[in-house]
Amino acid sequence: MTGVALVTGGGRGIGRTIAATLSAAGWTVAITGRTASALDGAVAAGAAALALPGDATDPVAVADAVRRTESELGPIDLVVANAGRFSAAGPIWHGDVDDWWRDLEVNLRGPQLVLAAALPAMVARGSGRVIALGSGIGLEGNPFASGYSVAKAGLQRLFESVAGELEGTGVSVFVISPGLVQTDMTDFPEAFLAHYPDWRGIAATEGIPPERAAQLVLALASGAHDRLSGRFVRVTTALGAAADVVESDPELGLLRMRPLPADE
């Protein structure tokens, strides 16, 4: 399957690789991001057809990116909410409270705005997919990275909830984990590395190529794995087997808490 795709944060890193992979596979791709020069460079290199500078947390900019993509390229079949940020680190009482909140805005409000802007047309057409970049950090509490961890946990719960709202519409949503990929964001803050020194440079030596995430996006965009809508999918997930297991274990790939024992 091919069509029109919109990739947020598509000017560099994983987003650019995803855009380039989609383009090479025959998709017509628009990319957004805050740095116009990076977006223009991606278009010049053939990674995308349309550059749309804008902030992923600005509802006007996000709505305009969706509108312009549909106006200039056609109806959107796929959105990849890739824009991310990890800046606030260290004990929460030591950091800048606004910096912490900014991590939430980019990682959670950004995808929420994309869903709100892109889903109406997808639901009306009865087809479409939205894929967000999540992280295993959101599956458990992560000391000294609480903002990023909370944002990614919220992202998973958001997509689980929206998947339920989309049942029967022909539209699917997914959260994927690209693993540890060497990008600007994995040059971790010093306040984080002070507590996790073994993580210094780990992405460069043990990181997963960004192409793995791009290939997972292609696979989910094909529609062959829509039974996994709402679930957390890693680049290492065996998609066909996972979809089969979901039939017998409906909570597979969902964010769940094991409650403490009840008072009898």
What pLDDT, in 10s, does the model give residues 128-186? 999 999 998 898 888 999 999 999 999 999 999 999 999 999 999 999 999 878 766 66
pLDDT of residue 203: 65
pTM above 0.85, yes or no: yes
- Mind listing the pLDDT tens digit for each residue in 176-226? 999 878 766 667 788 888 877 876 777 677 778 899 999 999 999 999 999
- Mind listing the pLDDT tens digit for each residue in 215-259? 999 999 999 999 999 999 999 999 988 888 888 888 889 999 888
Delimit the domains of the chain by residue range.
4-246
Question: What counts of helices (H) and strands (E) characterise the chain?
Answer: 10, 7
More confident residue, 144 or 7: 7
To the question of domain 4-246 being in CATH 3.30.365.10, the answer is no
When pLDDT is cut at 50, 70 and 90, the band that residue 36 belongs to is very high
Please give the Cα distance from 17 to 257 (Å, whole number). Answer: 34
Q: Name the percent of the chain lying above pLDDT 70.
A: 97
Helix pair 13-24, 210-221: axis angle to 10 deg: 50
DSSP annotation string for 102-126: HHHIIIIIHHHHHHHHHHHHHHHHT
Active site residues: 148
